[in-house]
Amino acid sequence: MSTYKSLVENWWALPGFKIELMATGLDLPVNLAFNRKAKRD
């Protein structure tokens, strides 16, 4: 079984951002991004 560190150590983030593990075991590559300050139309 993989550890949290082994699952996120190959990813990088720009300064001011961090990588959070949200799910494992997905069959397809998935990239998710959330923006707290998104404007609604």
Classified as helix, coil or strand, 39 is: coil
User: What does the alpha-carbon distance between residue 22 and residue 32 come to, in Å, rounded to a whole number?
Assistant: 9
Under DSSP, the state recorded for 41 is: -
pLDDT at residue 22 in the model: 76
Note whether 19 and 8 are within 8 A (CB). Answer: yes
Q: Kindly state the tokens that stand for 26.
A: 């997905």
d(CA 38, CA 28) in angstroms, rounded, equals 26
Per-residue pLDDT of the chain (41 residues), as tens digits, is: 567 667 667 777 788 888 777 777 777 666 777 777 766 65
Rg (CA), the chain: 13
pLDDT for 38 equals 63
Q: Where are the domains of the chain?
A: 1-41
- What's the pLDDT at 39? 67
